[in-house]
Chains A and B, each alone.
Chain A
């Protein structure tokens, strides 16, 4: 913030302090507040209240029917002592890593290639976006069907035409997570491709022309023009990817229910299990405790990430 900005800001603050209620109303303050009220009400009821309630519940033992009792840090201790807690972190980190290796570059590559194509770019973009249009549950259950591990399964039939033996896919602890990542990448890539394509339209054609004059080929243009110009978007999609992968739930829940042998139990699935696995309820305290830990972890990661990358994106 420059010295001029600070001066203007302090003048504005003094101006605000001097305003009487009548001036504030005449200046549109009341109208703004009234227009804001529905939003505040909706956010308050559906977002902030549940968050506060969850924080409180993480220190309680409750089945949502009987009166809750405060148990201090017991829910957090129970979560830390649960052997599945470590497993779920490892599994989620493994998913995040695989999703980063495969899921992060693929949309970028696809978007850059599409932007280089002169004809039918819209068609390619539509095709890339098509998986996003399919409802997630339908897509996941379809992939589960495709992953049928018998020799007559859809993917195994395809592999057989290349003389590759049937694969167990999600029926094997080692292959289940990569199989889930494959589906998740397919399902999510379309959205990111569209973001990159939109960002690419903002890259000045002059830069490419100048680099061509300097003798740059396609790879040099991508490396020295496209990627630096997309830096801000890339940094945002990176952190969104981290947050998204840390909250992976639908795929392991619907495809494997955490199996085989807990190989795909993720943090969110564990939260779900705490809350709903015991058919008479009672694990809501542990569930909210773990939710809180995850939220705090992601908030810290986000803040650290933005602090580290602030100078990169500004440059």
Chain B
């Protein structure tokens, strides 16, 4: 026979346990908009591993924003888009309320309702109707709704370490302009500096495919095309891709100029470049910002030129990011997030005082000013912005002149537009195979990618 007191204790224990669990489950979704008009937003503008100086610069900009918008509190979260982690964050609902996605994913995300419609907020901006329409197309739905602001368009270039060039007896002011010269310089570097890879490419986490496609474009090839019936055909097994891989194979196995480590993604190749283990690698033209912030690269030691162009149809692969807002954010938070995007990303491009203020903040914290990019609006605006911040520029413009002087004469080619990241991931093992197996059968490996990807792309092509 149980005493009433004991029964009550048992019931109380069970109720407390369930209450505790209920409390746990309800604690996750905190409301950030309060009744007094104040709103808190989380922004993913801070890349992981940001050095203290860059963090300070960012913090100062947050303070400036909050001063201008006293009702908005900005909570920065570390965020860096990578193919694998993004999906997990998206599915798990752990993305910040403002984040960025690549050009290639924006259409799919807006069709799936995974990013917010911010048409009214964007149109309310002073320049809302003047945005570059062709660029805005990446973030605009078929019905004309706007889901993001494109930012930071880049073209693929060839990053190189000027210090290593000098140590190897090469002229850093005369970077290679053909793939043959890249190979020759890489060989010279690896022979004179045995622990340095003269040239390497990314191979992992979908970046292997990304860089292979960039080097394919530079040779005039395409990995996807539309046939006469409007159907998208995967064409990894094209002469330019074969040539790009054969060139890489020769560099690795004949010239021994690709080093010893062949499993590199965006982060790890940047680290290796920052550590002086790699002399040249293809990169986005804007990579210096991250290299300085996370990998201690000195702008004075950094050089950038265009990827060599050869063959008809050759061009530079271009891409970029779109600043977007979570559909789970409240309307007030979405409005605040667009204000943040405007302040943090767009104003330094179009407003002289903001541009100079931003450049001074970056300069004061040792961050690079004058990193090569492509115009968000048009070349006139781009050049004007550069002229405003010329006094603050700490990236020696001579080091990147080779890129800046040639990129506007090159054709710019967008990334493949269907199942881009999956295609890149399917190409990763091919690049790895070429670098780790002397007898890799390039054509057969590429044909296997065509076979693997065609049904997937056909399925998704019909969805469009």
Contacts and interface: CB of A to CB of B under 8 A. Distances in A.
Contacts of A66: 112-113
Nearest to A34: B14
Contacts of B428: 259
Contact of B21 (A38, A64, A150): A38
A280 to B, nearest CB: 4
Nearest to A66: B112
B262 A171 contact: yes
B88 A276 contact: yes
A280 B108 contact: yes
B254 interface: no
Contact of B425 (A42, A153, A277): A277
Contacts of B419: 278
A261 B432 contact: yes
Interface string A259-287: 11110000000001101111111001000
Contacts of B112: 63, 65-66, 280-281
B68 interface: no
Contacts of A41: 17-18, 21
B86 A148 contact: no
Contacts of A89: none
B422 to A, nearest CB: 5
Interface stretch (B2-10, B279-287, B376-384): B2-10
A183 interface: no
B92 to A, nearest CB: 9
Contact of B113 (A35, A65, A261, A262): A65
B248 to A, nearest CB: 14
A42 B20 CA distance: 11
B195 A173 contact: no
Interface in B178-206: 194-195, 203-206
Interface in A231-266: 256-262
A166 interface: yes
A45 B18 CA distance: 12
**Is the contact region of chain A dominated by helix, strand, or loop, or is it mixed?**
loop
A202 interface: no
Interface residues of A, number: 47
A260 B429 CA distance: 6
B195 A276 contact: no
B204 to A, nearest CB: 5
Given A66-B113, A83-B452, A171 B108 contact: no
B105 A280 contact: yes
Interface stretch (B129-137, B155-163, B299-307, B433-441): B433-441
20 contacts: A31-B2, A42-B21, A63-B114, A64-B90, A66-B113, A150-B259, A173-B433, A173-B436, A257-B204, A257-B263, A259-B204, A259-B432, A261-B432, A261-B440, A273-B425, A277-B83, A277-B425, A278-B419, A278-B422, A279-B86
Interface of B: 1-2, 6-7, 10-11, 13-14, 17-18, 21, 83-88, 90-91, 102, 105, 108-109, 112-114, 194-195, 203-206, 259-263, 265, 277, 419, 421-422, 425, 428-430, 432-433, 435-437, 440, 448, 452
Q: Top 8 nearest A-B pairs by Cβ distance? A: A38-B17, A261-B433, A149-B260, A260-B436, A34-B14, A150-B260, A279-B83, A260-B432
Given A38-B14, A41-B21, A257-B263, 17 more contacts: A28-B2, A34-B14, A35-B13, A35-B14, A41-B18, A148-B260, A171-B262, A171-B436, A173-B436, A257-B265, A259-B263, A277-B84, A278-B422, A279-B105, A279-B421, A280-B105, A281-B87
